[in-house]
Amino acid sequence: MIVVTTPTGQIGSKVLAGLVKAGEIVRAIARDPGRVEAPGSVEVIEGTHADPSVVARALEGAEAAFWCVPPDETMSAPAREYYLRFCRPLAEALPGSSVRRLVLVSSGGRGGPRDSGPIGAALEVEELLESTGVHLRALRCGYFMENLLSQVEMLRDRGIFAHPMKGDIAVPVCATRDIGARAVEILGDRSWTGQTGVGVHGPTHLTLNQMADVMTRVLGRPIRYQELSEEDFRSVLLGFGASEVYTRELIDLFRAMAGGLHDAQPRTPDSTTPTTFDSWCAETLWPAIA
């Protein structure tokens, strides 16, 4: 039995589908069971993995788990507090549970500064779960291609996307489908032990300007990257309904990325995943914009 969190999310849904396809017995935690796209063989526990009682029920009899903190643009608590809310119940339940192997969605940047918004929060969670002694594989991911879906309206209507970071800084760019596939691969392997990070970096590093060039070519329309000041970026996010706390934490994240934090986890052949930015734009971004 493998427990899956965020089964309706960008990564969790792919983990759920992959495990079911592989013939694994799966139990999912979902706030809205009706949104879980899975056959009747999947057991769904209603609730949130921030609830200790839900976590205890979900782990009962399970051998492994996939853990992911759901994003929330309206969050009112700092990223550290928000992330720990979804992971403290797991840390408290693991020592007395049957779960021996855990796959965690973390971030690149281990060993870097902690004032890096969600990156620092994810890495603190990683350390907390390591302290339980569970066999752990932390997926240390780069910039998600799916981050661009939050700017679909600007891309479609104005031909731009924007961040508070220079356009010539190269970062690892990965697709959530590859993160999910790596999680499924690891969870299906019962032979591993110990604790380590696993890089998920996509095929190559890209600058934001290079991403704009790819989008221009694939989408057949001019796209450019626009560097915003932190204050202008804050105004844009607040205008889209993001909370003040989330906005501040995301600005800290981009400061860290601009400082090279993601490269604390070096690229290796194993961390280089297959989905190219070109193919992702054609298969995912184009339908969202068209």
Cα gap 263→246, rounded to integer Å: 24
Q: Which of 258, 234, 230, 232 is nearest to 247 (CA)?
A: 234
Cα gap 69→59, rounded to integer Å: 17
**Beta carbons of 134 and 100 less than 8 angstroms apart:** yes
The reported pTM is 0.94
Set out the domains of the chain in order of their start, with CATH numbers. Answer: 2-142+176-199+259-271 (3.40.50.720)
- Give me the phi and psi of 34, to 5 degrees please: -65, -20
Task: Give tens-digit pLDDT for 186-240.
Answer: 999 999 999 999 999 999 999 999 999 999 999 999 999 999 999 999 999 999 8
Residue corresponding to tokens 């690149």: 108
Q: Token digits for 187?
A: 């969870």
What is the pLDDT, as a whole number, of residue 112? 63
The tens place of each residue's pLDDT in the chain, 290 residues long, gives 999 999 999 999 999 999 999 999 999 999 999 999 877 789 999 999 999 999 999 999 999 999 999 999 999 999 999 999 999 999 999 999 999 999 999 988 766 666 788 888 998 999 999 999 999 999 999 999 999 999 999 999 999 999 999 999 999 999 999 999 999 999 999 999 999 999 999 999 999 999 999 999 999 999 999 999 999 999 999 998 999 999 999 999 998 888 876 666 788 999 999 999 999 999 999 999 98
Sign of CA dihedral 120, 15, 89, 79: positive
Q: How far is CA 256 from CA 243, 260, 271, in A?
A: 20, 7, 21
Q: Are strands 2-4 and 26-30 parallel, antiparallel or unpaired?
A: parallel
Q: What is the DSSP string of the chain?
A: -EEES-TTSTTHHHHHHHHHHTT--EEEEESSGGG----TTSEEEES-TTSHHHHHHHHTT-SEEEE-PPP-TT--S-HHHHHHHHHHHHHHHGGGSS--EEEEE--S-TTS-S-STHHHHHHHHHHHHHTTT-EEEEEEE-EEGGGGGGGHHHHHHHSEEEESS-TT-EEEEE-HHHHHHHHHHHHT-TT--SEEEEEE--SSEEEHHHHHHHHHHHHTS--EEEE--HHHHHHHHHHTT--HHHHHHHHHHHHHHHTTGGGGS---TTT--S--HHHHIIIIIHHHH-
What is the pLDDT, as a whole number, of residue 262? 62
What is the pLDDT, as a whole number, of residue 111? 65
> How many Cβ atoms from other residues are within 10 Å of residue 220's Cβ?
9
